[in-house]
């Protein structure tokens, strides 16, 4: 029962948790990061970094490594079946990064973890999980478990996670960067506000034999939102929204797991399914579907935590919100939240600011998400806005990779106003 101490304990070592730790460590704050997984993302979940996010990461010296691995996308095109309806040019934003950058999430996490290790000498504590905590006006005591594995079974052996040891972890603050099922949020008793019914999506990443595309294509038909993501290395990723009628029956069984399992028959089923859906929703798609890298079925729900924390326990990223995957808004806003929260903690821990400063963090985060979710203001049309754009305002808002002033600039290209 050896006692461990730190100033800030970050729970979760995804992109948002890693960036939070980097920013705190750079400010000279003692920080520890724990995660129940064995390592950073092993699978190449695609992610897209917005111009404002790239500017933040450039401040930390990470832009060269990211630009080397990623693919720059300067244009977003909106389609309805075979017809190109509208487009957004990110060059209108100006600045050093007039594009979004697509790359595997595993690459982003690897770059962030290496930056944390090299500059701060800090190693993520993998295979450690927080099982609960208590807090008061002086600090937080978390119960942390070190995990391991053991083989069980005789006829059919399998690997099972076990708790090797359990110990208290003392911290002045705890940050929940532990995803949409956040234990930190649940321990705080903070509920989600749901804005819409859950939506299911199928994601299929595959190799193509043609040159990479230079635009992100979003198909908004009458009922679904579908996105074709260009990725580095001649890869593409289709994200299809699934309707209730084909949510389970039509999508091949393998797709419910992101783990790549070999098998020509399964690959052929996935290839056929992808071609059928793309022919129906995007007749212009004529690229070959070669090797299928991975696939999964995932459910998203537009929702927002009623609070971003209280006292000495706070949330960042998906632990506090979720929205449509069309433009990776939740990830990018989460990275900006990490910067804001780290700044507030630096002022409190190093410059004597009152802990009440964190209520401003909560207020600003909720203001931003009320705008992005269309709860306060949102988008509105002008007298000359295209009728097709006007009819899809609610689905366009989460599909634009920007926020605040950048968001206003980009939607104006569609004849829309941001309130």
Q: What does the pLDDT look like over 98-122, one tens digit per residue?
A: 999 999 999 999 999 999 999 999 9
Q: Lowest mean pLDDT of 50-59, 123-132, 151-160, 405-414, name the range.
A: 151-160
C-alpha count within 13 angstroms, C-beta hemisphere, residue 260: 11
Domain layout of the chain by residue ranges:
4-38+127-193+303-370, 199-300
State how far the Cα of 206 lies from the Cα of 198, in Å rounded to an integer. 26
**Of 129, 134, 131, 133, whose CA–CA distance to 147 is shortest?**
129
State how far the Cα of 305 lies from the Cα of 320, in Å rounded to an integer. 5
Whether 271 shows a pLDDT value over 70: the answer reads yes
State how far the Cα of 288 lies from the Cα of 300, in Å rounded to an integer. 28
Whether 367 shows a pLDDT value over 70: the answer reads yes
Name the fold adopted by 199-300.
Alpha-Beta Plaits (3.30.70)
Model pTM above 0.85? yes
Q: Across all residues in the chain, what is the average pLDDT? A: 90
Question: What is the share, in percent, of the chain residues with pLDDT greater than 70?
Answer: 90
Token couple for 407? 């968001």
Please report which confidence band the pLDDT of residue 126 belongs to, taking 50, 70 and 90 as the band edges. very high
**Of 4, 6, 57, 5, whose CA–CA distance to 30 is shortest?**
6
Q: Do domains 4-38+127-193+303-370 and 199-300 have the same CATH topology?
A: no
Q: Which residue has the higher pLDDT, 258 or 104?
A: 104
Whether 247 shows a pLDDT value over 80: the answer reads no
Q: Assign domain 4-38+127-193+303-370 to its CATH superfamily.
A: FAD/NAD(P)-binding domain (3.50.50.60)
């Amino acid at each position: 029962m050896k006692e461990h101490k730190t100033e800030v304990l970050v729970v979760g070592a995804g992109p948002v948790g890693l960036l939070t730790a980097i920013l705190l460590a750079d400010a000279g704050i003692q920080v520890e990061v724990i995660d129940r997984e064995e390592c950073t993302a092993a699978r190449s979940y695609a992610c897209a970094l917005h111009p404002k996010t790239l500017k933040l990461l450039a401040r930390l010296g990470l832009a060269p490594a990211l630009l080397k691995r990623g693919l720059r996308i300067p244009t977003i095109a909106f389609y309805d079946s075979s017809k190109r309806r509208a487009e957004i040019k990110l060059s209108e934003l100006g600045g050093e990064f007039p594009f979004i950058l697509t790359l595997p999430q595993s690459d982003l996490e690897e770059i962030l973890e290496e930056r944390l290790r090299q500059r701060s000498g800090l190693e993520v504590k993998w295979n450690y999980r927080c099982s609960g905590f208590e807090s008061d006006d002086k600090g937080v005591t978390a119960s942390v478990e070190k995990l391991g594995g053991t083989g069980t079974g005789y006829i059919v052996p399998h690997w099972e996670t076990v708790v090797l040891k359990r110990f208290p972890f003392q911290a002045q603050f705890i940050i929940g960067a532990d995803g949409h099922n956040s234990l930190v949020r649940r321990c705080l008793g903070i509920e989600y506000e749901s804005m819409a019914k859950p939506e299911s999506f199928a994601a299929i990443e595959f190799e193509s034999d043609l040159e990479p595309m230079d635009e992100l294509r979003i198909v908004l038909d009458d009922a679904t939102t579908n996105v074709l993501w260009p990725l580095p290395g001649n890869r593409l990723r289709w994200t299809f929204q699934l309707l209730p009628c084909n949510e389970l029956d039509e999508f091949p069984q393998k797709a419910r797991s992101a783990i790549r399992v070999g098998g020509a028959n399964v690959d052929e089923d996935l290839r056929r399914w992808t071609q059928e859906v793309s022919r129906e929703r995007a007749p212009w798609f004529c690229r070959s579907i070669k090797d299928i890298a991975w696939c999964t079925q995932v459910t998203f729900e537009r929702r927002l935590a009623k609070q971003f924390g209280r006292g000495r326990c706070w949330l960042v990223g998906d632990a506090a919100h979720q929205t449509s995957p069309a433009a990776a808004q939740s990830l990018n806003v989460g990275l900006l939240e990490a910067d804001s929260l780290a700044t507030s903690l630096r002022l409190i821990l190093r410059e004597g600011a009152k802990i009440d400063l964190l209520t401003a963090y909560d207020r600003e985060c909720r203001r931003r998400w009320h705008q992005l979710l269309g709860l306060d203001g949102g988008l509105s049309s002008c007298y000359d806005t295209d009728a097709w754009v006007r009819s899809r305002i609610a689905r366009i808002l989460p599909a634009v990779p920007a926020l605040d002033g950048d968001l206003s600039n980009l939607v104006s290209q569609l004849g829309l106003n941001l309130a």
